[in-house]
């Protein structure tokens, strides 16, 4: 039992240290997908419009409190929240401060989710992420 308690305390200390490295976000900060809507049937290319409240948008590399830039997660789960967001076909970066994108998606169902990150592409603490939506491309 004593061994288990030490393991739990160590894990808590590591988790706290990792979270402390993330940029802080206001508790009321919110990011959301303005369009398309959950369940919508769309044509490709799909225009995705990003919404943000309680924080501002700043380009990657700009270290300023209460700001970040958007990342669009496509057909993927949320990445590790204590590391920079990967850059690949499932994790689109908008480091220029963009607030919308037109993307080509194959016919079928797709999931979309926004995740705001700081100057170094690391999600904030607490994480500022939208609900995941599902769309169908005809």
- Reported as a single tens digit per residue, the pLDDT across 61-84 is 999 999 999 999 999 999 999 999
Distance of CA 128 to the CA centre of its chain: 7
pTM of the predicted model as reported, rounded to 2 decimal places: 0.84
CATH number of the domain that residue 116 is part of:
2.60.40.10
Number of domains in the chain: 1
CA atoms of 81 and 109, how far apart (whole Å): 26
CA atoms of 55 and 42, how far apart (whole Å): 29
Q: Using alpha carbons, select from 107, 102, 105, 74 the residue that is nearest to residue 88.
A: 74
Q: What is the mean pLDDT of the chain?
A: 88
Domain that holds residue 9: 2-137
């Amino acid at each position: 039992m004593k061994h288990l308690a030490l393991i739990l305390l160590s894990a808590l200390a590591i988790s706290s240290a990792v979270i402390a490295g993330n940029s802080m976000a206001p508790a009321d900060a919110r990011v959301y997908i303005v369009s398309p809507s959950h369940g919508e049937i769309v044509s490709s290319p799909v225009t995705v419009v990003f919404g943000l409240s309680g924080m501002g948008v700043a380009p990657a590399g700009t270290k300023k409190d209460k700001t970040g830039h958007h990342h669009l997660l496509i057909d993927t789960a949320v990445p590790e929240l204590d590391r920079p967001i990967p850059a690949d076909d499932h994790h689109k970066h908008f480091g220029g401060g963009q607030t919308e994108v037109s993307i080509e998606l194959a016919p079928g169902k797709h999931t979309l989710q926004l995740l705001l990150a700081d100057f170094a592409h690391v999600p904030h603490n607490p994480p500022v992420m939208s609900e995941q939506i599902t769309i169908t491309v005809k």
